[in-house]
Amino acid sequence: NSELFTLTYGALVTQLCKDYENDEDVNKQLDKMGYNIGVRLIEDFLARSNVGRCHDFRETADVIAKIAFKMYLGITPSITNWSPGGDEFSLILENNPLVDFVELPDNHSTLIYSNLLCGVLRGALEMVQMAVDVKFVQDTLKGDSVTEIRMKFIRRIEDNLPAGEE
Amino acid sequence: NSELFTLTYGALVTQLCKDYENDEDVNKQLDKMGYNIGVRLIEDFLARSNVGRCHDFRETADVIAKIAFKMYLGITPSITNWSPGGDEFSLILENNPLVDFVELPDNHSTLIYSNLLCGVLRGALEMVQMAVDVKFVQDTLKGDSVTEIRMKFIRRIEDNLPAGEE
């Protein structure tokens, strides 16, 4: 049951809206907090899921949608809209548990309410040497029929070991 | 899996520590946020649990420990230390999922990290016409061996309908 989480997340977003002047700053802050969470969450995820190294971005997409989202949010987004080059895809969330009972007030029309999730994905993937760009491109809170998170592969991060160590 | 919730809760507490001058204000704010959450959560709880009206405070204690905590936090605290008059008891949490990986820094020794829970209980019970006092009296974060939440029955809240309505 994720209700307590949903409401606690709402309290966090509400607090940030009080703290920051404009939605853009709140969006940034949520992304940053999410990044810090992702960096810590990945360890738990690898330990529990027994998932090994992904060989390509398609495999990564599957692991995120079918294992990670299921594990932490109890939903399984569908994977769509692959770019021809295979470096971009979308996660479609029919239901976003974070926004149950949420309505954006008129004066927060540019708030990306669930932006924490983008940060979580970015932070977690960075820990497995994958730099990605993550953003919401559709959101039921904005009147769209589904919520869509777009993920773009940027580059593989090389392990830069200091000279002399291996 | 409550890890994402735990880390998000941590982000909330961290943000409040940035926003408020001292721990006491953070504690108050957490309690207040919890209250607002409890007021909303009770509806979900009554709908899902099919629990009816409790006939006495002992029954209330059982419902809180065995059904509500299980449903929202995945743990079942034990109920101990009843006052002779039956108006006070303690919930003992062997493990508090909110504090996994948390360590209080020295400069936050008076922070009641999980104080949101007190507010949630207070808010939820108020919605079923029960005024209670809820507070942490032991906390593993403070070096205690268990976490103990003390609940005290204050009074039953009468439905005060405006004159002429029934």
Does some domain include residue B161? no
Q: How many domains does chain A have?
A: 1
Q: Contact A16/B19, CB-based, under 8 Å?
A: no
Among chain A residues, CA nearest to B1: A72
- pLDDT digits 0-9 by tens, B51-85: 988 999 999 999 999 999 999 999 999 999 999 99
Interface residue of B2, B5, B6, B8 to substitute, partner A, most A CBs within 10 Å: B8
Question: What is the span of the domain harbouring residue B20?
Answer: 3-156
Element (H, E) at B150: strand B147-156
Label residue A101 by pLDDT band (50, 70, 90).
Answer: confident
Give the pLDDT score at B14.
Answer: 96
- Chain A hits for B116, CB-CB cut-off 8 Å, are 8, 11
Model confidence at A72: pLDDT above 90: yes
Does some domain include residue B127? yes
Model confidence at B162: pLDDT above 90: no
- Measured between CB atoms, does A120 come within 8 Å of chain B? yes
CATH of the domain at B83: 3.30.1380.20
Angle between helices A3-19 and B116-127 (to 10 degrees): 110
- Measured between CB atoms, does B7 come within 8 Å of chain A? yes
For B86-108, what is the mean pLDDT?
A: 94
Report the residue from B2, B12, B36 with minimal CB separation from A12.
B12
Tokens of B19: 């926003």
Does some domain include residue B166? no
Model confidence at A165: pLDDT above 80: no
Nearest CA among B132, B23, B39 for reference residue A7: B39
Does some domain include residue B162? no
Give the pLDDT score at A164.
Answer: 62
- pLDDT digits 0-9 by tens, A122-144: 999 999 999 999 999 999 999 99
- Measured between CB atoms, does B12 come within 8 Å of chain A? yes
Angle between helices B3-19 and A116-127 (to 10 degrees): 110
Q: Could you report the predicted ipTM of this complex, rounded to two decimals?
A: 0.91
Chains A and B form CB pairs within 8 A to the count of: 67
Does some domain include residue B91? yes
Nearest CA among A134, A131, A129 for reference residue A119: A134
Does some domain include residue B163? no
Q: Contact A37/B4, CB-based, under 8 Å?
A: yes
Does some domain include residue B79? yes
